[in-house]
Structure 1
Amino acid sequence: MANEFPGVTLLVTHYNRSSSLERLLSSFERLDCRFDDIVISDDGSTEDQLTSLKDLKGRYNFHLVTTPVNKGLANNINKGQEAVRTPYTLYVQEDFVPSESFPEHFLDALAIMEERNDLDMVRFYAYSAYPYLKPYKKGYSEMLIKPWYTNYRKIYYYSDHPHLRRSSFPDKFGRYAEGIKGDRTEYRMCVSFIQNNGKGLFYNDFKSLFTQVNSADEPSTMRRKSWTTSKNPLISLFRYGYRQIRYNYDLLFTKY
């Protein structure tokens, strides 16, 4: 029996990783997932990659949105979202693979979004659990945000990792900031999501619905400054203090 997801478009951002994209699409096919539409937004991939994308388009029947030059992650998401015509968007980057349990729990998420008009998104994956959660139902918890919360990870109330959102998302939270690095783009959306009273759910078993796969042939294209990931105790202490000050300042005084 097919797993039908009415009113949902699968939106995938892509850049020079057609094998990863094929793995993602074939995984959804194997799980018999049926979306109302699939949009692949490409960020100026090379000619050989575009040839591969066109071959994949013939097999998976998706809408391909391209740009002549690389314009960055923000532009890639923005132009992809603009091509969506359904009420809901499942956003997934090309280096993820859904698990066998994804369809069941995605249907739960979709039903909850239909029930609750106040919800803006449902998150399915993260590197670590969101620090402030209130159990809800069906394996999901409500994400909470208050000014006095001290865990700096509260800023990740929003994340670019796989999630379901209303396709009207940009109307409430704005477009992704273009012309800056991908991690800064995500950060600015995190701030906007909090400032504009976003509400979302977080799947408790957050490593079970998707796996992120970065092969040697198609490694991640995201690059971060070394100080943001260093394990040095002094750098970690500085990073913690910096984040506490910067994040809270931006939430209170900066409007992106």
Structure 2
Amino acid sequence: MYTFKEVTLLITHYNRSSSLERLLKSFRSNNCVFGGIVVSDDASKPEHLAKLHELKEEFGYKLVTTPVNRGLGNNINKGQDAVTTPYTLYVQEDFEPQKGFFRKLQESLEIMEEDKGLDIIRYYSYLLYPYLKPYGKGFSEMYIYPFAPQYKKVYFYSDHPHLRRSSFLEKFGRYKEEGSIDKCEYSMCVSFIRKKGRGLFYNDYQSLFVQNNTEQEPSTLVRSDWTKSKNPVIAFARGVYRQVKYNFDLHLAR
């Protein structure tokens, strides 16, 4: 059995109750027990909300709801407010842990207890973070230097599965509650870097979690065509824009 009394599992949810059930069952099937579980819901449809109350009886989590949809930032903020343990494992409902994750979570807690300066340990990403130095146990420490050429440096923080200290909002501020999901994440990325956050990145970054977006419960994230286009001219312009904007926001904006 894996027992993490000092960790609360925080799950943000919106209209994907079957995905949430799969995630919770995955933790249970691997004999993983937390000091608490918080499910923060962003005004899901009635049928999903009813399912959340059923699952609450089965899994014993704390359910935090809202009468109107207020976006991911508010959903994380109110969920984090309900956490009472020293550490928070943040996972969105469409992810599922793999067998190797639980041992890595144990190691992560040991690392964060020993290295009090670490704020976050990241377990999943779409891409390798561009600036890493070896740390140990399969992790690397992320770093950044002024005007580094890789614009993906800004993604020092990520909303993908990670372990963090529950004092995170006190140090880096609350999540932005206006605008899109991407703007919410970007705002926290900038805050994390400007306030000199420290974090580890798991080297085999797609082995500990899988993301499950089914036909019945697809991803709720919608991006503009401009951000997804593979047209070389648009891609070049996008890269230049991001490099200028990200460096301005990180080093010059007040």
> Do they fold alike, i.e. is TM over 0.5?
yes
Counterpart CA distance in 2 for 1:217 and 1:240 is: 34
Match of 1:115 in 2: 114
Match of 1:89 in 2: 88
Q: CA deviation at 1:226?
A: 1.0
1:103-143 Cα offsets, whole Å, 9 max, x none, are 01111111101111100000000001100000111000000
1:177-198 Cα offsets, whole Å, 9 max, x none, are 1121110000000000000000
SS in 1 for 2:154: helix
Match of 2:231 in 1: 232
Moved over 6 A (4+): none
Counterpart CA distance in 1 for 2:225 and 2:94 is: 22
1:1-256 to structure 2, matched below 5 A, reads: 2-255=1-254
Counterpart CA distance in 2 for 1:123 and 1:240 is: 25
SS in 2 for 1:54: helix
Q: CA deviation at 1:252?
A: 1.2
Q: CA deviation at 1:63?
A: 0.2
Counterpart CA distance in 2 for 1:207 and 1:161 is: 11
Q: Percent identity?
A: 59
SS in 2 for 1:141: strand
Counterpart CA distance in 2 for 1:18 and 1:254 is: 40
Counterpart CA distance in 2 for 1:29 and 1:121 is: 24
Q: CA deviation at 1:229?
A: 1.2
Q: TM-score, normalised by structure 1?
A: 0.98
Counterpart CA distance in 1 for 2:253 and 2:62 is: 37
How many aligned residue pairs are there?
254
Moved more, 18-27 or 140-149: 140-149
SS in 2 for 1:28: helix
Amino acid paired to 1:56 = L
Counterpart CA distance in 2 for 1:233 and 1:5 is: 48
Counterpart CA distance in 2 for 1:83 and 1:9 is: 10
Counterpart CA distance in 2 for 1:172 and 1:105 is: 25
Structure 2 unmatched runs, 5+: none
Q: TM-score, normalised by structure 2?
A: 0.99
1:157-192 Cα offsets, whole Å, 9 max, x none, are 000000000000011100001121110000000000
Amino acid paired to 2:60 = N
SS in 2 for 1:157: coil
Q: Is the 8 A contact 2:147 2:247 kept in 1?
A: no
SS in 2 for 1:37: strand
SS in 2 for 1:13: strand
Amino acid paired to 1:89 = T
Counterpart CA distance in 1 for 2:205 and 2:102 is: 14
Counterpart CA distance in 2 for 1:117 and 1:45 is: 37
